Amino acid sequence: MKEQINQGNLPQHIAVIMDGNGRWAKQQGAARIFGHKNAIKAVREATEGCAELGVSCLTLYAFSTENWSRPKQEVQGLMTLLVATINDEVPTLMKNNVSLHSIGDISQLPEKAQKKLQEAIDKTAKNDGLKLILALNYSGKWDLTHAMQALALEVEKGVLRADAVDHEQIEKHLSTYGFPDPELLIRTSGEMRISNFLLWQMAYTELFFTPVLWPDFRKEHLHEAIVSYQKRERRFGKISEQVNLG
């Protein structure tokens, strides 16, 4: 599949909903956290695959605002795993010239997780290759609500007129400001929904669903998704003839 990729038509921002860890663990007769632990290789493969191709941004949906409702033991295990993984993967990020970023309400994460995350962000800040964005304690509705609250406060203070709130103003207050909107979303495990992820940003994102469970995801699956993306015509509300005229 890699040989079929057109380097001149790469999606510059790929978003991934990493689904299927629990089902993968169940197939092995193990606890759900076992699936999360074995998903680290998939994260590394996706990151290295994007870096090798020259993709600008990769956003991974690591932990949603809804995930707090999972069993307490699983949530605690995920937080412990998050700290360990961030700590262990910094050398790999440095080797691949990857800078780490995050979106979401990080303040609600355990203090140790916040500290390790910030340390990794600071250490990789000067890397100018792939931007790896972790969506942690994130949801699309949270992002939009947070943006609306910030805009309402500016209107209330007289900093901004209500009739000046437009498309650009909303985007400036989203947690993804400064990053391009994703052109390709990959969701593993066969589920076909976007699960409250990047709701504003994915208005024209191409969606790719694969039955592969996330712990089994490898570079060849990334390449397959990109090849599928490149076969599509992106019209953004226009008709084919307009797109083909440039």
Question: In 3D, which of 61, 42, 39 has the Cα closest to residue 50?
Answer: 42
pLDDT at residue 233, as a whole number:
86
Would you please indicate which residues are annotated as catalytic (active-site) residues? 19, 67
Beta-strand pair 13-17/184-187? parallel
pLDDT at residue 234, as a whole number:
73
Q: 23, 191 in Cβ contact below 8 A?
A: no
Q: 165, 149 in Cβ contact below 8 A?
A: no
pLDDT at residue 241, as a whole number:
61
CA 67/CA 74 separation, integer angstroms:
10
CA 43/CA 194 separation, integer angstroms:
19
pLDDT at residue 242, as a whole number:
60
Beta-strand pair 184-187/131-138? unpaired
- Residue 26: count other Cβ atoms within 10 Å of its Cβ: 13
CB under 8 A, 24+ apart: contacts of 106-113: 106/136, 106/137, 108/137, 109/79, 109/82, 109/136, 109/137, 110/79, 110/83, 112/83, 113/79, 113/82, 113/83, 113/86
Tell me the whole-structure pTM to 2 decimals.
0.94
CA 35/CA 53 separation, integer angstroms:
27
Q: List pLDDT tens digits, range 161-210.
A: 999 999 999 999 999 999 999 999 999 999 999 999 999 999 999 999 99
Q: What is the dihedral of CA 69, 71, 74, 79, to 10 degrees?
A: 40
Enter the tokens of residue 211: 């039955």
Question: In which residue ranges of the chain is pLDDT below 50?
Answer: none
pLDDT at residue 245, as a whole number:
63
Cα 196 versus chain centre, distance: 12
